[in-house]
């Protein structure tokens, strides 16, 4: 089998998922994670569709990527037009990427009913678009949209479309199950037939409308497809795309194909959770390989077995993908992960005595109350540091108060909500009280806390909040549900994340804010 290439389309196709949106900074963060994971190609979106995508291709150039190649995505020229005058193709060239992916119709019914053009013109659109881009020294990946549906309705025409792309110089021909309704047996038969045509590298891109996207991807690989398109955690339109996390794990652990290194494989769980947290999505506990419940067992025969022989009811060693086996009644394992994280933070903890056990117990107790540290490493570090007897917090909040009031605006046409906050802090033996207002209770608390602390730590003024996410973690409780707040802060040189949890969103936010300032002070106290 030829070497496989992994192509992530999270930042384009994945963002078609309902209820998801990423900032430019979020997208760049995902690029860095995917690069570290060993992904060969990262599709950044269509540079001509909106200002954010256009800005992405300029900003991503500043990242020092080790493995990944950034790909711009677009479509073939419009019907009855000159590719040299096509705005879409111009935007792709201006994105200044070596690789470009263009999508073209491969289903005759789509050509006549959606594009409303002729079969010959569609072939010309594909051929001329690929030829024009390759003349500009671009390497072109051709996504054959509705390929499998088109193959079943008019095989000869569908094959002509990918042959046209190949003849024009496309480096890879991607077979797309755009509607996600093709069965595995059909994927197997059709992919095998196309591979045997020897017209170029064959890729696979499938959607998950029948819950078979990962299986269909693996089957296509077994038939000779060597270019794999998929999304983090199966994000995507409707029911999503093939899940690149599961695809990687299956290729590496089941087919024994070294698409990424063992070390990168052990980061799968972290990357999966990072993406969900960044997008403010509740991670799927039952997600294969990386879900919290993927290797969890309830009391009974399973637990009795695994306490005698770990792995009795697991198909792989969970640690291979960075996960862990758990007993739901009393959690099992976890100590090794804690120890490795402590080493990474370079905190002086005696791993041979009971300090590590105390940290693990404390983390579990806090997570039971709604806190989660996967995407809040700064708060995790504080938990570890506070175990030590000699830890002294740089400040203590003794009291805080928030008041909201409605105020009539000057034109009297609308009302404005004003938030006032008061915070009392102790630093050593000194106490300082400060008040401030803001556009909301959290903003007011942040201003009041910072106003108090800068009297002791003037350099704290450089910290600013760059992201704020709120999630309900037990929605069945209705209005009494607990909330988890993630805050990302920056001093313009680095950024860090903290978490707070409570049944009160203001308290949860304030806990995360306090952690943010405390974390910065223990590293930059002046």
Tell me if 72 sits within 8 A of 101, measured CB to CB: yes
Structure tokens at 474: 């037990």
pLDDT digits (tens, 9 = 90+) for 83-124: 999 999 999 999 999 999 999 999 999 999 999 999 999 999
Please report the pLDDT score of residue 305 as a whole number.
Answer: 46
Distance of CA 7 to the CA centre of its chain: 15
**Interhelix angle 355-368/335-345, nearest 10 degrees:** 110
Cα separation, 224 vs 227, in Å, equals: 9
- How do 201-206 and 227-230 pair as beta strands? parallel
- Say if CB 447 and CB 438 are below 8 A apart: yes
Q: How much is the pLDDT for 302?
A: 43
Q: In this structure, are residues 182 and 216 in contact, taking their beta carbons and an 8 Å threshold?
A: yes
What is the reported pLDDT for 344? 63
Which two tokens mark 42? Answer: 């990262």
Could you give the CA distance from residue 471 to residue 180 in angstroms, rounded to a whole number?
31
pLDDT of residue 316: 92
Which H/E stretch holds residue 144? strand 139-145
User: Would strands 41-43 and 69-75 be described as parallel, antiparallel, or unpaired?
Assistant: parallel
The pair of three-digit structure tokens given for residue 460, joined into one six-digit string = 């704290």
Which residue is it, tokens 């021909």? 173
Listed residue (164, 152, 110) closest to 118, CA to CA: 110
Set out the domains of the chain in order of their start, with CATH numbers.
5-260 (3.20.20.70), 349-392+463-526 (3.30.160.340), 395-456 (3.30.160)
Q: How far apart are CA 283 and CA 302, in angstroms?
A: 25
**Two tokens, residue 264:** 């990168």
For the packed helices 213-222 and 184-195, what is the interaxial angle rounded to 10 degrees?
Answer: 30
Six token digits for residue 412: 């009297």
DSSP assignments along 175-200, one per residue: EEETTS---HHHHHHHHHHHHTT-SS
Q: Which helix (H) or strand (E) holds 468?
A: strand 464-472
What is the reported pLDDT for 125? 97
What is the per-residue pLDDT for 407? 73
Rounded distance between C-alpha atoms, residue 284 and residue 232, angstroms: 12
Low-confidence ranges of the chain (pLDDT < 70): 1-2, 297-313, 326-341, 343-344, 349-353, 408-415, 526
Question: Residue 480 carries which DSSP code?
Answer: G
Q: Using an 8 Å Cβ cutoff, are 162 and 106 in contact?
A: yes
Three-state DSSP at 351 gives coil
- Cβ-contact 175, 220 below 8 angstroms: yes
Rounded to 5°, angle at Cα 336 from 334 and 338: 70
Pairing verdict, β 415-427 and 430-438? antiparallel
Q: Is 333 helix (H, G, I), strand (E, B) or coil?
A: coil
Q: In sequence order, what are the residues at sequence separation of 6 or more whose Cβ sits closer than 8 angstroms to the Cβ of residue 518?
A: 382, 393, 394, 395
Among 184, 168, 159, 13, smallest CA distance to 76 is for 168
Burial, 458: exposed, middle or buried (Cβ in 10 Å; 0-12, 13-18, 19+)?
exposed
Q: In the chain, what is the straight-line distance between the N-terminal and C-terminal CA atoms, in Å?
A: 59
Where do runs of H (alpha helix) occur along 297-354? 301-308, 335-345
């Amino acid at each position: 089998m030829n070497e496989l290439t992994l192509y992530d389309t999270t930042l384009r196709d994945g963002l078609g998922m309902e209820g998801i949106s990423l900032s430019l900074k979020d997208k760049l963060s995902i690029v860095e994670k995917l690069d570290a994971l060993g992904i060969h190609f990262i599709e950044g979106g269509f540079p001509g569709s909106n200002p954010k995508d256009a800005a992405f291709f300029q900003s991503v150039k500043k990242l020092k990527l080790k493995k990944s190649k950034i790909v711009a995505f677009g479509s073939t020229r419009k019907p009855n037009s000159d590719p040299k005058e096509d705005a879409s193709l111009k935007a792709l060239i201006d994105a200044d990427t070596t690789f470009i992916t263009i999508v073209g119709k491969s289903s005759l019914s789509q050509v006549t009913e959606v594009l409303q053009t002729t079969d010959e013109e569609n072939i010309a659109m594909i051929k001329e678009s690929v030829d024009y881009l390759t003349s500009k020294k671009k390497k072109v990946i051709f996504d054959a949209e509705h390929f499998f549906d088109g193959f079943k309705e008019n095989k000869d025409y569908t094959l002509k479309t990918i042959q046209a792309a190949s003849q024009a110089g496309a480096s890879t021909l991607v077979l797309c199950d755009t509607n996600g309704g093709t069965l595995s047996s059909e994927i197997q038969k059709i992919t095998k037939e196309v591979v045997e045509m020897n017209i170029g590298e064959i890729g696979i891109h499938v959607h998950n409308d029948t819950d078979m996207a990962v299986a269909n991807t693996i089957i296509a690989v077994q038939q000779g497809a060597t270019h794999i398109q998929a999304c983090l955690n199966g994000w995507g339109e409707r029911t999503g795309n093939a899940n690149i996390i599961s695809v990687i794990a299956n290729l590496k652990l089941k087919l024994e194909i070294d698409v990424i290194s063992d070390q990168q494989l052990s980061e799968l769980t972290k990357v999966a959770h990072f993406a969900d947290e960044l997008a403010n999505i509740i991670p799927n506990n039952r997600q294969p390989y990386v879900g919290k419940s993927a290797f969890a067992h309830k009391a009974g025969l399973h637990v009795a077995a695994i306490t005698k022989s770990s792995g009795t009811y697991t198909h792989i060693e969970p640690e291979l993908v960075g996960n862990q086996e758990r007993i739901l009644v009393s959690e099992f394992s976890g100590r090794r992960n804690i120890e490795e994280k402590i080493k990474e933070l370079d905190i002086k903890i005696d791993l041979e005595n009971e300090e590590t056990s105390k940290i693990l117990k404390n983390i579990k107790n806090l997570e039971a109350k709604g806190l989660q540290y996967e995407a809040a490493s700064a708060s995790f570090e504080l938990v570890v540091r506070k175990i030590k007897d000699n830890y002294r917090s740089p400040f203590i909040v003794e009291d805080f108060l928030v008041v909201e009031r409605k105020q009539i605006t000057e034109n009297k046409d609308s009302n404005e909500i004003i938030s006032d906050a008061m915070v009392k802090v102790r630093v050593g033996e000194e106490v300082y009280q400060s008040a401030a207002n803001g556009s909301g209770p959290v903003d007011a608390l942040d201003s009041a806390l910072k106003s108090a602390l800068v009297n002791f730590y003037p350099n704290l003024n450089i910290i600013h909040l760059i992201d704020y996410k709120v999630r309900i973690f037990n929605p069945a409780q209705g209005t009494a549900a607990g909330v988890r707040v993630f805050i990302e802060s920056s001093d313009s040189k680095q950024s860090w994340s903290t978490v707070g949890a409570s049944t009160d969103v203001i308290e949860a936010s304030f806990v995360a804010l306090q952690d943010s300032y405390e974390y910065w002070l223990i590293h930059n106290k002046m």
